Structure formats: C-alpha cells, structure tokens
Amino acid sequence: MNAHVLFIGGEDHFLRIPFFKTIERLGFRVTAAASGDPRPFDDANIAYRRFAFSRFVDPVADIRAITTLSRLIHDVDADIAHSFDTKTSLLVPYAARSGQRTAIIRTINGRGWTFSSRSAGALAIRTIYRPLQRFAATSTAATVFEHHGDMNFFTRNGLLGSGRSVVIPGAGIDIEGFERARAMGSAPDDLRRELGLIGRDVLVTTTRITREKGIHTLLKAAALVFRKHANARFLVVGPRAGEGSDITDEDFARHAGYVLPTGARHDVPSLLNMADVFVFPSEYAEGIPRSLMEAALAGLPIVTTDLPGCQEVIRDGWNGLLAPQRNPEELAAKILTMLADREAARRMGARGPAKIRQGFGLPDIAAQHAALYERVLARGPRRHSPYIDEVGEAIECRRG
C-alpha cells in the first residue's frame, strides 16, 4: 500500500493544494487537516479533517488543540504527519508523543511573530518558546526549513536540540497554474477601469493586513511617495487577520486619496498583470513568501524588505530593491527609484521569472519532499511508498 501523508496546517492551508496534488501524483496517499474552510479541499478531491486552534498565545486553547491533534493523528493513522506554520509545527510533535507510530516532519516557514516582533509580549514569550521548540525537535524525524537563514538561526539559538534539519525552499509554486490564471483573467485595462486606476502608476501589495506584515510602514511610505509622485496609487490586497486588529479602517481612510484596500480577492494573477511595481514591506523574518514568488514570476519589479526569506527571492539591484525593515523613508526612496527609472525597473522585473522557474517550481520542490519522506520511512517500520528518486541525494541534511 502506498505511504500515507497527513498534512497539518492553519487557515491558509488551501494555498498548498497544488503541492498536495503533486505529492499524490508521485504515489503517496494524502490527507489534509487544518482550521480553514473545507470547500477548496473538497473541490480538489483531497480528504480533509477540520480542527480548531488559536493562532495566538492561549495556553488553555493550546492544550485543547494538542488533545484534538493527538486524536486526529491517531484516527488518520498516516505513515507521516507533516505540519506547516509556526503554531502547528510546535503543537504537532507534542500531540504525537503518546506512543503513536506516525513519523513527524515539521516545516518552519519563517520565525513568526515570536521572533519577529519587538513587543514586550513577544520578548517574554521567547524565554518559554525556546525550550518548547527544543523539546518538540527531539520528537520529529526532520525539521524542514525554507532557507539556511532560519536553519542557522534555530541552530545558533539552541532550538533544534539533536533534531535533524533539512533545507527545502518552500512548498513550491504552481507555475503553469499561475500562468493559466493570468491568461484567463481580466485584461489589465478592464481591471484598471474597474478599480479607477486608468492612467495611474499602480503599486500592488498582496498580504494579510497586519502590523507584522508592514502595513503601517507601507502607509507611511505611500504618503511620502505621493508627495513627490502624485500619480502613484497603492493597491493593498488581502484579508484582515486577527493579529491585524491594530490596522483599522481609519488608518486606510487617512490615505484614501492614494491607497486602495481591496480585501481578499481571487484574481491576484490578473492584478499583478496590470501592476507597475510590487511592494512587499513585511517585518517578519519570512520563509519563502508566496506573494514575492508570484510577483517575480509575473515579471514585476519588486521592492521588499531586507530580511531572510525576502532575500531568497530578491537580489538587491538585480531583480528588485531591498529596503530596511520598519523604515518608511527608505521604502519610499526605493519605490521612487523604481518609478523614476522605468527602463531599469523593467530590466529587474524581466529577470524574475527565470529565477522562480529555476529554483521554486512545484515539481522539483515536491520531488525533494518525496525523497525526504522516503528517507524517513526507510528508517522506520511503517509501510513504504514506491516512489524513489535520486533527488534525495541533493537534499541538504545536517545535525542541528
């Protein structure tokens, strides 16, 4: 029987459906579990288990989630449980410690709020978080990082213990699906007309609307840009998130003449197709941001933050510009540079698609994960998948 992988994630787990389907095509049986809407998984014909958990610091809810996850892992009885996202990747190893046979793999896709925020709460939680992460690492067959920066950070801060660490750059991007969506979407002029942007220089940001994603910094930078380049219009696309309650309607209203928040939209490839510049001001130490990969694949010149994760996609001055985090003046200056020299911006944007195709395509990323699953299964007594590929030799493994 083919090996069975249970993928566990948060509310945006549906974004990984193309990755799950590719893993299925490589010969694995797939079940997904998350806290979000089941409909995208039903539409993709992926077995789905929904569970509730809090993304925020809540010890009572966390204990309840560990109990729920332990029952879920036992009931699904997969060969491997692979968790994504900061919170689930901490909880799942604890949920699986009670004599269960399922091998645990976790992906650390960024350092999250705990190691990105400068708030007193985040600083206090770090002292608790470190031993919890170290203990969780000892219960996993492998911890996957999306880039060496995060792996080195966890190693340097003693967060891995003796756990095995692996670098695989993200969950991959469905290049063909993205290009198909761009081709089938609305024409750029139609979208500009719909949004009142005809004749404007359009700068697009796609992200969750939270402080940690740099929205306050973006709004301040937009005001600075508008003073010098009155034709600029900023399109901010994405859902409000719980931790983003400090981003209010009034914040956007103060910039209403040149900032347009759209909320979540399902036509992001088309929006990128009509944009002039992409801006991603995150204050997180990211994994590999999907938004940046899509913008680069769309051939857009990009201005983003000089942080791990963003640095994996953008090389400063080559396919985009990097600005210091939490610095609206520098962010505005980089944006104005793009708007002032369109030919240089065009050349930078043109270099993006090849970089994404060569390093982040879904088939290669899925093959690297499949090879990791094979290695984990080969070390244990569970059933083994028929899928074997030399790509496993290229996966970088080391002791933390």
Structural domains in the chain (count) = 2
- Asked if residues 112 and 70 have their Cβ atoms less than 8 Å apart, the reply is no
The residue among 187, 95, 180 whose CA lies nearest residue 135 is 95
Predicted local distance difference test score (pLDDT) of residue 127: 80
The residue among 305, 315, 309 whose CA lies nearest residue 335 is 305
Q: Are residues 91 and 238 in the same domain?
A: no
- The residue ranges of DSSP E strands in 117-273, in sequence order, are 142-145, 164-167, 201-206, 232-237, 259-263
Q: Are residues 70 and 114 in the same domain?
A: yes
Predicted local distance difference test score (pLDDT) of residue 242: 57
Q: Are residues 163 and 197 in the same domain?
A: no
Q: Are residues 51 and 167 in the same domain?
A: yes
Angle, vertex CA 221, rays to CA 216 and CA 224, nearest 5: 135
Residues in the chain, how many? 400
Predicted local distance difference test score (pLDDT) of residue 130: 82
Q: Are residues 129 and 196 in the same domain?
A: no
Predicted local distance difference test score (pLDDT) of residue 385: 37
- Reported as a single tens digit per residue, the pLDDT across 142-188 is 999 999 999 998 898 888 866 688 999 988 999 999 999 999 999 99
Q: Are residues 10 and 49 in the same domain?
A: yes
Q: Are residues 184 and 154 in the same domain?
A: no
Predicted local distance difference test score (pLDDT) of residue 98: 61
Give this prediction's pTM: 0.88
Going by C-beta distance under 8 Å and a sequence separation of 6 or more, which residues neighbour residue 246? 211
Dihedral-angle region of residue 30 (phi above 0 means left; psi in -120 to 50 means alpha; beta otherwise): beta
- CATH number, domain with residue 287: 3.40.50.2000
Range of the domain at 390: 4-172+361-399
Q: Are residues 240 and 344 in the same domain?
A: yes
Listed as ranges, residues in the chain with pLDDT below 50 are 243-244, 381-400
